[in-house]
């Protein structure tokens, strides 16, 4: 008991300096730089290339946040984190935002003391098969051998789904992705199961991309979201409305290419209000009025952001699916901007 008190006191002593401030938003503005934790080895998600350039979906969220808060996407310090490092880095204040494919769950949000933004990537458990297998849906996989990550939640969903459908399969459990994908590509398994974006990345790297197809069926959901520490309500508001703003921009047809022109010339009161040409939305939040112009100039609207990194304009070619606007059959929506 006393040991725990000492540990708690020590943690408070270390983190006290940041905890004392009212809101992390003010700290970031005072510092003039945003610190964002991400990953550096998955092209399309978070990748640091041999020229020192960062790219990817999770990286672009960080760039957008820097543009929103500081008006410049380059006022950004990106920190590459491994899986076990990600939450300690956020807890200790080393990073302001964690944008690293974190799955939003109720226990993380309510008992661990984090606030989730978005969620900005809605995916689930899918399947990849060889094109020449003739499989077009999960239900064709009766009797198949399936590679799965051992001890993962996917292993459970897989067994539950097949039992529910009255189908059989033989699992081959792998310790990690680096063991699992070679097994699948060598033909040990008829299918491999994981989230489609990750399967798309491995397919691309396998050098036999056109021989494999990712089925559009999803048997379980997984919502991924950037994370901040609890206790900075204004930072949370800025980031959440930035996410909604990118969706709103796609709804309004505002793109990276036309955003400046729209801001200057549009007569639509909704567009003028949204881009800060009229009104005071930005300043009331603690950022500049043209903050969404900066965000869209940096990363584009949600569709451009998705398609460039994961979607049809990327090498991965992941379909929008659930990540499309509500009017296009997806689940993305944004509250009103009044």
Partner 1 sequence: MADLAANAQGGARPFARLTAALSRPTTLAQVLFVLGVAALLVALTLVAQSNLERLSVKSGYGFLWEKAPFELGESLIAYKAGDTYMRAFAVGILNTLKVAALGIILSTALGLVIALGQLSPSSVVARVCRLYIETARNVPLLMQLIFWYAFLTASLPRVKQALSPVEGVYLSNRGLFLPALDFGGAGGQIGLALLAGLVMAVALMVWKLRTQARGNIAWAFWGLLLLPAIATFLLSGATVSLDLPELKGFNFRGGLAVSPEFLALLLGLTFYTAAFNAEVIRGGILGVPKGQTEAATALGLKRGQVMRLVVIPQALRIIIPPISNNFLNLTKESSLAVAIGYPELVRVANVTLAETSQSIECISIIMLVFLTISLSTSLFLNWFNARAALVTR
**Window 96-135: contact mask with partner 1 (x via CB under 8 A):** -------------------------------------x--
For residues 166 and 146, give the distance between their C-alpha atoms in angstroms, rounded to a whole number. 16
Q: Work out the number of other CB atoms within 10 angstroms of the CB of residue 91.
A: 17
The reply on whether position 145 binds partner 1 by CB under 8 A is yes
Least distance (Å) from partner 1 to the CB of residue 250? 38
For residues 101 and 195, give the distance between their C-alpha atoms in angstroms, rounded to a whole number. 11
Within 13 Å, how many C-alpha atoms sit on residue 216's CB side? 6
**Window 146-165: contact mask with partner 1 (x via CB under 8 A):** ----xxx--xx-xxx-xx--
**Window 167-186: contact mask with partner 1 (x via CB under 8 A):** --xxxxxxx---x--xx--x
Q: Which residues contact 261 (CB under 8 A, 6 or more apart)?
A: none
Q: Which residues contact 92 (CB under 8 A, 6 or more apart)?
A: 14, 15
Nearer residue to partner 1 within complex by CB, 181 or 306: 181
Least distance (Å) from partner 1 to the CB of residue 43? 25
Query: Given the DSSP bridges, would you call strands 126-130 and 191-194 parallel, antiparallel or unpaired?
Result: antiparallel
Total residues at interface with partner 1 (CB under 8 A): 30
Least distance (Å) from partner 1 to the CB of residue 3? 9
The reply on whether position 188 binds partner 1 by CB under 8 A is yes
Task: Give the range of 32-40, 166-174, 196-204, 309-317 binding partner 1 by CB under 8 A.
Answer: 166-174
**Which letter does DSSP use for residue 312 in this model?**
T
Applying CB under 8 A, among 96, 115, 190, 224 the residue interacting with partner 1 is 190
Q: Which residues contact 321 (CB under 8 A, 6 or more apart)?
A: 122, 123, 216, 218, 330
Instruction: Write out the residues near partner 1 by the rule CB under 8 A.
Output: 133, 141-145, 150-152, 155-156, 158-160, 162-163, 169-175, 179, 182-183, 186-188, 190
């Amino acid at each position: 008991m006393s040991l725990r008190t000492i540990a708690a006191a020590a943690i408070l002593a270390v983190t006290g300096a940041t905890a004392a401030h009212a809101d992390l938003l003010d700290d970031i503005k005072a510092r003039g730089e945003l610190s964002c934790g991400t990953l550096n080895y998955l092209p399309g998600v978070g990748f640091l290339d041999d020229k020192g350039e960062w790219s990817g979906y999770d990286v672009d969220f960080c760039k957008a946040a820097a543009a929103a808060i500081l008006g410049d996407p380059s006022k950004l310090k990106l920190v590459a984190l491994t899986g076990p490092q990600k939450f300690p880095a956020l807890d200790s204040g080393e990073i302001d935002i964690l944008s690293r494919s974190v799955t939003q769950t109720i226990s993380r949000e309510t008992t661990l003391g984090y606030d989730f933004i978005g969620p900005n990537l809605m995916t689930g458990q899918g399947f990849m098969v060889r094109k020449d297998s003739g499989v077009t849906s999960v239900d064709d996989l009766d009797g198949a051998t399936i590679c799965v990550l051992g001890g993962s939640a996917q292993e459970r969903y897989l067994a539950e789904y097949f039992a529910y459908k009255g189908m059989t399969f033989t699992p081959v459990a792998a310790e990690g992705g680096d063991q699992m994908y070679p097994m699948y590509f060598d033909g040990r398994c008829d299918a491999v199961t994981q989230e489609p974006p990750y399967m798309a990345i491995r397919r691309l790297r396998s050098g036999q991309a056109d021989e494999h197809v990712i089925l559009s069926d999803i048997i379980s959901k997984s919502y991924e979201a950037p994370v901040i520490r609890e206790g900075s309500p204004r930072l949370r508001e800025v980031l959440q409305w930035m996410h909604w703003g990118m969706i709103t921009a796609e709804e309004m047809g505002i793109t990276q290419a036309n955003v400046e022109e729209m801001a200057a010339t549009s007569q639509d009161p909704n567009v003028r209000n949204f881009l800060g040409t009229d009104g005071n939305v930005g300043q009331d939040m603690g950022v500049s009025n043209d903050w969404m112009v900066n965000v869209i100039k940096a990363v584009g609207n949600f569709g451009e952001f998705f398609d460039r990194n994961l979607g049809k304009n990327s090498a991965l070619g992941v379909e929008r699916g659930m990540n499309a606007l509500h009017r296009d059959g997806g689940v993305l929506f944004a509250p009103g901007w009044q």
